[in-house]
Amino acid sequence: MAYESIDKLQKALANKVFGHTKDSKKAAGRALGTLVEIITYYLLKTWGLNNQISIEKGLEEYGNPDITHNVEYSLHPIVRDSALTIPKGGKAITSHKILKALEGTQFDLKGFQPKSNQLLHNGVLRNACTIATSKTSILLCSIKTESKHSLELHIYEQSRKPYAMFECKRVGVEDGMKKGPQTIEKAKQGAYVARAASSLQKIRTDSGELKGIIYKSDGSYIIKPFVDLMEEVISSSDRELLRRFILTVGVVSNHGNWFTSGNQNKEMKVLAQSYDWLLFLTDAGLAEFIENLLFKPVKEYRPVRDAFLASYTATKKKNQFTKVQMNIEADRLLLKYFREHSADIDQWFNVIVPKDKSISILKSELDELKKKDWTKILL
């Protein structure tokens, strides 16, 4: 790694990009948090999950739907999808324009309420763009292909009930401190949502063994060692086990906050016992992303750096480098980079839990959940 630590990298980012701000290190720390979210998003897209992703949707607590929590990313079953070609024309591609074009197709919009989002505006793309919603589903749109005069759009309807969720946690370290002062609070927030999301719940025995319990609709239940039961649910076709199940995945970064001397801090232990899967984005992985795409990109990837810098100048007009809004050329290049370096990027992550599992197993579990017959399961 070109920098001794993420702290050194944060200071370099503060000097190079955020020198105009009142607290450059804090601004750089917030940007690093955004980068963790962006890396996670493009990782999921590279895994073939583009149409399953929703961003910052409210997640109902299991058995307590009056309480919802917005999560970074949730993965949803696809109810139906279609392709639509529209002319480019004008500065913006709005949800109104897309829905109007859909009226002349066989894609039934009965029961949907339109949203006022813009899929594309002045070269800035809205990721996982919601164009309409109904009581049971969400209608989204993404750009499939582009030509000189037209766009081929992918229209897809997601079930509101997700089968997996991802949350990203990063807290910066202030000068003179050993770790971020809000780190434990961030950990507790993430742990609460992870524990409240799914029908597969965690309990401890008197000896400290982690068990899983899942209830069926008739009030009966299954109790087994947690990882065994989680794997059984994922591989199952049993509606009773799957209909309220949500695989919970956490992504954390920055060793200064979550580890000491190679051992897990209390904060990491709180997260590790709460999420089904906990991934650690390594210092080396985050530094490689920043070096190759933001600090010293080859000529082909300079538009990525340009979009990043344009989002953080003193005179910025609009942020175009977040998980929600991304410069369209930067989006294309990020996808290209992640696809071409997928094997290396998988190595950016350490699996904290489940123990002795690899990220390839997580990918296969998500793929297995994606392919299930959710139409029957969610009846």
pLDDT along the chain (379 residues), means of 10: 67 83 82 94 97 97 96 97 90 94 92 97 96 97 92 97 94 54 78 96 96 96 98 97 97 69 72 94 91 95 95 82 97 98 95 94 98 95
One domain for residues 286 and 318: yes
From the number of C-beta atoms within 10 Å of its C-beta (0-12, 13-18, 19+), residue 356 rates as exposed
Q: How far apart are CA 284 and CA 264, in angstroms?
A: 18
One domain for residues 169 and 153: no
One domain for residues 285 and 172: yes
Instruction: Among 94, 129, 159, identify where a domain stops.
Output: 159
How many separate domains does the chain show? 2
Residue 236 covered by a domain: no
* Strand 78-87, strand 64-75: pairing: unpaired
One domain for residues 326 and 263: yes
Residue 221 covered by a domain: no
One domain for residues 83 and 189: no
One domain for residues 73 and 114: no
Strand partners, 224: 212
Residue 215 covered by a domain: no
* Beta-sheet strands, E only, within 286-333: 325-327
- Mean pLDDT of all residues in the chain? 91
125: helix, coil or strand? strand
| Residues 36-76: tens digit of each pLDDT | 999 999 999 999 999 999 999 999 999 999 999 999 999 99
| Residues 98-122: tens digit of each pLDDT | 999 999 898 999 999 999 999 999 9
Residue 228 covered by a domain: no
One domain for residues 46 and 90: no
Instruction: Among 106, 137, 159, identify where a domain stops.
Output: 159
One domain for residues 256 and 333: yes
Backbone angles phi, psi at 66, to 5 degrees: -70, -20
Query: Which H or E run contains 283?
Result: helix 283-290
Host domain of residue 342: 1-77+161-198+246-379
Residue 336 covered by a domain: yes
Q: Which residue has the tokens 């094997």?
A: 343
Evaluate whether 99 touches 109 at the Cβ level (below 8 Å): yes
- CA dist 133 → 37, 71, 144, 158 (Å): 25, 18, 21, 10
Residue 322 covered by a domain: yes
Q: Which residues contact 210 (CB under 8 A, 6 or more apart)?
A: 202, 203, 204, 225, 226, 273
Instruction: Among 159, 185, 219, identify where a domain stops.
Output: 159
Residue 192 covered by a domain: yes
* pTM reported for the whole predicted model: 0.94
One domain for residues 70 and 82: no
Q: How far apart are CA 351 and CA 118, in angstroms?
A: 37
| Residues 356-371: tens digit of each pLDDT | 999 999 999 999 999 9
Residue 121 covered by a domain: yes
One domain for residues 358 and 300: yes
How much of the chain, in percent, has pLDDT values that exceed 90?
A: 74
One domain for residues 25 and 166: yes
One domain for residues 54 and 89: no
DSSP output for 22-49: SSHHHHHHHHHHHHHHHHHHHHHHHTT-
